[in-house]
Amino acid sequence: MSETAPRTGYREVLNFINGRFEPSREGRTFAGVSPVDGAQVAVIHEAGRADVEAAVKAARAALKGPWGRLPQAERLAILHRVADGIQQRFDEFVDAECLDTGKPRESCRHVDIPRGAANFRVFADLVKNVPTEAFTMDTPDGATALNYALRVPRGVIAVVCPWNLPLLLMTWKVGPALACGNTVIVKPSEETPLTAALLGEVMNAAGVPPGVYNVVNGFGPDSAGAYLTEHPDVDGITFTGESGTGEVIMRAAAQGLRSVSFELGGKNPALIFADANLDDAIPTIIRSTFINCGQVCLGTERIYVERPLFAEFVARMKVATEQLKIGPPDEPGVTLGPLISQLHREKVLGYYQLAVAEGATVVTGGGIPDLPAALAGGAWIQPTIWTGLPPSARTNREEIFGPCCHISPFDTEAEAIAVANDTAYGLTGVIFTRDLARAHRVAAQLEVGICWVNSWFLRDLRTPFGGMKHSGIGREGGVHSLEFYTELRNICIRY
Q: Which residues are catalytic?
A: 263, 297
* DSSP H or E run through 43: strand 40-45
Closer of 204 and 341 to ligand NAD (Cβ): 341
| Piece in contact with ligand NAD (CB under 6 A), picked from 110-118, 126-134, 236-244, 377-385 | 236-244
Residue (of 46, 474, 485) closest to 240 by Cα position: 474
**Nearest approach, Cβ of 1 to ligand NAD (angstroms)?**
24
Q: CB-wise, 68 or 200, nearer to ligand NAD?
A: 200
Q: Does 166 bind ligand NAD (CB under 6 A)?
A: no
The only residue of 117, 160, 180, 285 in contact with ligand NAD, by rule CB under 6 A: 160
Q: Does 242 bind ligand NAD (CB under 6 A)?
A: yes
Residue 266 makes contact with ligand NAD by CB under 6 A: yes
Examine residue 169 and tell whether it contacts ligand NAD (CB under 6 A): yes
In the set 35, 241, 269, 403, which binds ligand NAD (CB under 6 A)? 241
Alpha-carbon distance 267 to 427, whole Å? 8
36 vs 228, beta carbon nearer ligand NAD: 228
Taking Cα atoms as reference points, which of 240, 145, 109 lies closest to residue 186? 240
- CA distances for 289 relative to 103, 263, 328, 357, 421, angstroms: 15, 19, 19, 22, 19
One-letter amino acid identity for 221? P
Site string for ligand NAD, 460-479 (x = CB under 6 A): -------x---xx-------
Q: Where are the beta strands (DSSP E) in 154-235?
A: 156-160, 183-187, 213-215
**Binding segment (CB under 6 A) for ligand NAD, from list 113-121, 214-222, 303-311, 437-445:** 214-222
Interface region with ligand NAD, contact rule CB under 6 A, candidates 197-205, 224-232, 308-316, 364-372: 224-232
CA-to-CA distance for 203 and 85, rounded, in angstroms? 8
Q: Is 480 in the site for ligand NAD (CB under 6 A)?
A: no
Amino acid letter for position 387 = T
Among 273, 386, 401, 410, which residue interacts with ligand NAD (rule: CB under 6 A)?
A: 401
**Closest residue to ligand NAD using C-beta atoms:** 220
Question: Which 275-304 residues touch ligand NAD, going by CB under 6 A?
Answer: 297
- Tell me the sheet residues that pair with 214: 185
Task: Write the binding mask 117 to 156 for ligand NAD: x where contact by CB under 6 A, - elsewhere.
Answer: ----------------------------------------
The residue (of 266 and 383) whose beta carbon lies closer to ligand NAD is 266
Rule CB under 6 A: choose which of 30, 163, 213, 352 binds ligand NAD: 163
197 binds ligand NAD (CB under 6 A): no
13 binds ligand NAD (CB under 6 A): no
Residue 147 DSSP label = E
Shortest distance in whole angstroms from residue 320 CB to ligand NAD: 24
User: Is residue 196 classed as helix, strand or coil in its secondary structure?
Assistant: helix
C-beta of residue 151 within 8 angstroms of C-beta of residue 132: yes
161 near ligand NAD (CB under 6 A): yes
Q: Is 225 in the site for ligand NAD (CB under 6 A)?
A: yes
- Would you call 163 helix, strand, or coil by DSSP? coil
Nearer to ligand NAD, 264 or 320 (CB): 264
E strands of 358-476, at which residues? 361-364, 384-387, 404-410, 425-426, 428-432, 450-453, 468-469, 472-473
Q: Per DSSP, which regions of 81-133 are E strands?
A: none
Selected range binding ligand NAD among 6-14, 22-30, 94-102, 240-248, rule: CB under 6 A: 240-248
Q: Is the dihedral of CA 465, 115, 269, 453 positive or negative?
A: positive
Which listed residue (12, 190, 235, 306) binds ligand NAD by CB under 6 A? Answer: 190
CB of 57 to ligand NAD, least distance (A): 19
Amino acid at 63: L
State how far Cα 51 lies from the chain centre. 25
Size of the site for ligand NAD (CB under 6 A): 32
Q: Is residue 316 within 8 Å of 303, Cβ to Cβ? A: no
Regarding 264 and contact with ligand NAD (CB under 6 A), the answer is yes
Residue 219 is a binding residue for ligand NAD (CB under 6 A): yes
Would you count residue 240 as binding ligand NAD (CB under 6 A)?
Answer: yes
DSSP tag of 47: P
Instruction: Return the range that interacts with ligand NAD (CB under 6 A); candidates 92-100, 186-194, 372-380, 388-396.
Output: 186-194
Smallest CA-to-CA distance from 175 within 132, 206, 216 is with 206
> What is the arrangement of strands in the sheet containing 472-473, beginning at the earlier edge strand?
20-22, 15-17, 213-215, 183-187, 156-160, 236-240, 259-263, 472-473
For the bound state, the minimum distance from the C-beta of residue 244 to ligand NAD, rounded and expressed in Å, comes to 7
As a whole number of angstroms, the distance between CA 426 and CA 447 comes to 6
Nearest residue to 491 via CA among 149, 151, 154: 149
| 3-class DSSP assignment, residue 188 | coil
Instruction: Give me the least distance between CB of 253 and ligand NAD, in Å please.
Output: 10
Q: Could you tell me the smallest distance in angstroms from the CB atom of residue 231 to ligand NAD?
A: 11
Residues 415 and 411: their CA atoms lie apart, in Å, by 7
Give me the residues that bind ligand NAD (CB under 6 A), please: 160-164, 169, 187, 189-190, 219-221, 225-226, 229, 240-242, 245, 248-249, 263-266, 297, 399, 401, 427, 467, 471-472
